[in-house]
Structures are given as C-alpha cells and as structure tokens.
Amino acid sequence: MSMIPKKPAKTPFTDHQWQAIHDEGKNLLVSASAGSGKTTVLVQRVIEKIKKQTDINQLLVVTYTNAAAREMKHRIQSAIQKEINQCDEQEQKRHLIRQIPMLGHADISTLHSFCLKVIRRYYYLIDFDPVFRLLTDDTEIALMKEDVWEELREELYGNDDELFEELAKAYSSDKNDDGLTTLILSLYEFSRANTDPLKWLSDLTQMYKVNGEDLGESFVFQKLLKSQLLSTLKTMDDLLDDAIAMGNNEEELGKTLKILIDEREHAKELQTLVKDNDLKEAYLCIENFSHARWYVPNKKTTSESVKEMGKEMQVFRKKAKDLYKEMESDIFSFTPDEHLENMSRVSLLVEEMARVTKLFYERYKNHKADKKVLDFNDLEHLTLRILSIETEDGKEPSEAAIHYRSQFSEVMIDEYQDVNQIQEEILKWVTQPESLNGNQFMVGDVKQSIYSFRLADPSLFIEKYEQYEKKEKGERIILAENFRSRPEVLSFTNFIFDQLMDKEVGELTYDKSAKLINGYTAFPESSDFNTELLIFESKVEESENDDDDESVSSSFSVDSKTKGELYMVA
C-alpha cells in the first residue's frame, strides 16, 4: 500500500495533484483537464522518484511528440538542478548530480523512438536485418504506396474477376477509381493500428453475419445502429415535449397540441420497439404513420401572443420532424428482409475488400523489405514481435520484455487518450503484469482526444477511467482545477458541454467529475469578462408561406440556405 506523505501547508499543489505526484504501488490513471498542470505534475513525480534514489534510466516516459519529449527533458533537468542547489545532504546531492549526464540517454521520448531503440538492441530475436532507413517523409511514403497499388490494381483488373470488378464499380466514378484507391489504403491504415492486421481484416465480414433471420440481433444493428436510433428518438421526444410544454395552458392550441402529442407517442412507441430489437414491427409502425398538416389558429379573435407561441412550437416540431425523415430515409427505407438481403450481398464485397487489402499489405511489406525501409507503424509491429513470444498457451514475454520489466520501475505515458491498440500492447509488455503491483502512470484527458484520424483509440482511456473509479486494477485521480482561464470562460464551457457531451456523442458523460473547476483565484474582479455570443449570418432565404411547416427556420441554424459563423468571446 502506498504511503503518501503529508502535504505541507505552503505547497502550491492541490490535494489531487499531491496524490498524483506521490501515490504508487498500483496503476494510476490521471484524468487531467485543460490547464490543470498535468506536465508540472508529471515532472514533479519524476523528481520525487529520483529523490527516492531512483535513477532516471529506470523510468520510461512516453510523450506524443518529439517536441514534448525535448520540453520534458528540459523541465526535468531544470528541476534536478534546482534540487541540487537546495540539497544539503551530500550523498543525496551526488545522486542528483549523477542524473544530469544520464538524462541525455534516458528513455524520455515518443513511443516510436523507444521502439527504434528496442529494435536496434534486440533485432536478432526476430531474425531481422538491422540495416534499414526510416521513412519520415509523408510524400515519399504516399508515392511508394501508390506505385505498389497501381501495379496490384492493374493485375487485379487483368484477372477478369467479377467480384473485384463489382467492388471497383461500387467505389468508382465514371471518370476514375480514386474511391477504390482511398478505400483500400484506408483499410490498410486501420488494420495496422491493430496488433494482428491480417486477422482484423479477416474479421470484417463477421459484422455482416446474421444468425437466423433476425436483423435486430445482428452486429450491425446492436453495435452500430441501435444506440444511434435510440438517441435520435430520444431527441425527437424531448423536442416534442418542449413544444407541448409551451402551449399546454392555451385552450386555442388544443388541435395543435393533439398533433404534437400523437407524434410524441409515436416516437415513444418506436423507442420501445427499438429497445426490444423488434425492427419488423418498427418498420410497419413507420410505414403506417404520416405527419399531420401543421395547424395554428389564425382567427380574428386569436391573439398575437398565441400565434407567436404557435410559431415557436412549430420550430421545435420541425426539428423533430426533420430528424424523423432523416431516420426514415437512412435506416427504414428498406424492409428488414430487404436489409438482410443487402447485408448478404455487402458481405461478399466486404470479403473482397479484405482480400484485396491483404494483397496490398503483403506487396507493400515486400516492397519495403526490398528497399530496406521501414515506416513508423513498422517500428511498432516489429517491437511487438520482439517483446512477445507465441506459444501453445498464448503469448509470453520475451527476454527483451523481461529485461525492460526489470529495468523500468515505472512507465509513464503522457497524452494517454491518444494511444492506439498496438501501442497499448507494447506498453503492456514493458510494464509489470496485472497480477503484480502496477507500475503504469497514465496522464491524459479523453475530452481532448483529437487524433482519431491517426487511429487513436480513446476507448482504452475510458475503459480504465471506469474501471479505476471502482479501484479495479488501478486507481483514478481527477485533476479538474483549471489554472489557465477565468471563471467566466470555465462556466460557459461547462454549460455548453453539459448540453452536448454524453456517452453517445463524446464517449464520456460530462458529469460533475468531468467539469472544469476554477483553480486560480487571483484574477481581478471585473464585469468586462462576461461571456458574449456573436452570431453572424450572411444570407437567409425565407419561404413566403410562414404557416408551412417546411418553411420554419431558426436564426441560430446554419444550413444550405444559411451561411454564417458563430463566435464566443469571454
């Protein structure tokens, strides 16, 4: 069990920062919001480790960029020098001084740089030729892939393969087959973010397999469509609820309310059917439903306030109706049986996609071997092969993994939210197994994960975030205090994301633990910093018929008829 030292009265660190600096003996996930001082905490944790007689080369610190690694080394060096100047105990001072020359060779780097070091040292474990050139120019990589693909594509066209021709036709235009090229190269990149790319490609067709004749039990519906449908229907329900609440006290709006109530009940019925996976009944329910023509009383005796209220209700109803029409055209344009037939045909095309991508995978791999070059992703896969050994009972640590596990007393990962599957697996083989005391220290913020296009997998962070909250396999520490922005900015940011971010949209509920807290109290008080919204619309086209439901527009929307920008100033 970790013994966290008592926090001094005058320390600049918060309680949670102090825990993140000193806690040990288990895996730790530090969820650090923007401006919460995570780099300061990480550097201070390194210093505290060194002060306890740990050498800097006993720590692996993984950063996301080379620039971040350089900054980290600089800050650690400055912190060590500061400790040297303040230290009176001679043995401790000698230990601190010894860290300065070691810092230049310390494992404080990007994961790719660490992988390169592993390959240079243990290449013989996988019978790999260590003489290679690392590809760092994106243009050169793109041209190399293009050359390999063009040769393979011409060969596939020449084989007179009907299934390949059908695939090419499905993803090509009348002018070129650039769509097919983009598809295969994208699939290749996605596969390489996994520990076993070829298996990942082979498993793609499993998504389109249906046991029996029940579309509701298929992978596509359960994993991809169900949550999307329920979210859409819940939003429709809420919009109609708000519209009904507006006019509930107006007798003249009785007919209008009847329209809204019927549509809300229809949305609720669909929610129940979707939850029960009953897509056949849901399809029939939609097929037999039609939206009533919108009605707002327009008599001479009708007050302007009632007419205005009707228009406001109409705005909410139109948003709900638009969502319904989009759902209908996207998902319920075919019957469940037709969907099953389509999935069967699509399954063949997906299988062909996987086959072609595997061919490209092998050709490109051989091409790089002939040229004696590697890309960054190759470094990850080679390192994983070096660190783990395939046995009859599964994978076991190699001598390289055993060496690094004994060398590193702690593995620290910055920007953990941007790690992908294969990087996670590499880190697993250089840290202590879960059966022992954890020695992994992860810092990040899933709300700041922006590298999905680089195949980052935020679900890895979220899984630990939820596990460690229950103290399963580790412990979670939340740094919510923001020391960078004024309270007005934080308050408005919390307000916006409280409305937008949930498990479906942002993979994380923006609850109390996720909200930003003002940690800096020295800002001068002033009313000049209240949040201000500036909305600019360059052009709005309005229909002549204001009573037509399709003509309703909101000044806050930006669509094909409205071009504009939204600015926030605080």
Q: Return the minimum-mean-pLDDT range out of 90-99, 440-449, 482-491, 506-515.
A: 506-515
* Residue 565 vs residue 28, higher pLDDT: 28
Q: Are 441 and 410 in contact (CB under 8 A)?
A: yes
The answer on 467 and 390 residing in a single domain is yes
Residue 123 has pLDDT above 90, yes or no: yes
Averaged pLDDT, 464-476 = 90
The answer on 220 and 325 residing in a single domain is yes
The answer on 354 and 419 residing in a single domain is no
How many CA atoms lie within 13 Å of 258's alpha carbon, on the beta-carbon side? 9
In a domain, 557, yes or no: yes
* Residue 293 vs residue 173, higher pLDDT: 293
Q: Which of 479, 495, 520 is the last residue of a domain?
A: 479
Q: So what's the pLDDT on residue 304?
A: 86
Cβ count within 10 A of residue 66: 12
Which of 294-303, 310-319, 536-545 has the largest mean confidence? 310-319
Averaged pLDDT, 12-23 = 94
- pLDDT confidence bin for 454, thresholds 50/70/90: low
Q: So what's the pLDDT on residue 437?
A: 81
CA distance 273 to 267: 10
Q: So what's the pLDDT on residue 560?
A: 37
Residue 542 has pLDDT above 60, yes or no: no
pTM of structure: 0.81
In a domain, 510, yes or no: no
The answer on 351 and 329 residing in a single domain is no
We report the CATH number of the domain holding residue 461 as: 3.40.50.300
Averaged pLDDT, 104-127 = 96
- pLDDT confidence bin for 44, thresholds 50/70/90: very high
CA distance 129 to 119: 10
For the chain, give the percent of residues with pLDDT over 70.
92
The answer on 309 and 222 residing in a single domain is yes
pLDDT tens column, 227-268: 889 989 999 999 999 999 998 878 888 899 999 999 999 999
Averaged pLDDT, 525-539 = 77
Averaged pLDDT, 463-487 = 90
The answer on 328 and 226 residing in a single domain is yes
The answer on 82 and 24 residing in a single domain is yes
Residue 191 has pLDDT above 80, yes or no: yes
In a domain, 538, yes or no: yes
Residue 322 has pLDDT above 80, yes or no: yes
- pLDDT confidence bin for 566, thresholds 50/70/90: very low
CA distance 228 to 225: 5
Can you list the positions of beta strands (E) in 21-172? 28-32, 59-63, 107-110, 133-134
Q: For residue 26, what are its two tokens?
A: 């288990």
In sequence order, what are the beta bridge partners of 337? none
Residue 464 has pLDDT above 90, yes or no: yes
Residue 450 has pLDDT above 80, yes or no: no
Task: Tell me which DSSP letter residue 194 carries.
Answer: S
The answer on 421 and 358 residing in a single domain is no
CA distance 321 to 161: 45
Q: Which of 442, 461, 479 is the last residue of a domain?
A: 479
In a domain, 507, yes or no: no
- pLDDT confidence bin for 558, thresholds 50/70/90: very low
- pLDDT confidence bin for 132, thresholds 50/70/90: very high
Q: Which of 333, 363, 386 is the last residue of a domain?
A: 333
The answer on 403 and 307 residing in a single domain is no
pLDDT tens column, 371-390: 999 999 999 999 999 999 98
Give me the amino acid identity at 121: R
Q: Which of 126, 33, 101, 110 is nearest to 67 (CA)?
A: 110
In a domain, 99, yes or no: yes
- pLDDT confidence bin for 554, thresholds 50/70/90: very low
- Coil vs helix vs strand at 143: helix
Q: Which of 388, 253, 359 is nearest to 313 (CA)?
A: 253
pLDDT tens column, 134-147: 999 999 999 999 99
In a domain, 488, yes or no: no
Exposure string over 478-497, b if 16+ CB within 10 A, otherwise e: bbbbbeebbbbbbbbbeeeb
- pLDDT confidence bin for 491, thresholds 50/70/90: confident
In a domain, 10, yes or no: no
Averaged pLDDT, 64-82 = 94
The answer on 248 and 227 residing in a single domain is yes
In a domain, 519, yes or no: no
Q: Domain containing 439: what range?
A: 15-123+375-479
The answer on 35 and 103 residing in a single domain is yes
The answer on 95 and 143 residing in a single domain is no
Averaged pLDDT, 378-407 = 95
Domains identified in the chain, total number:
4
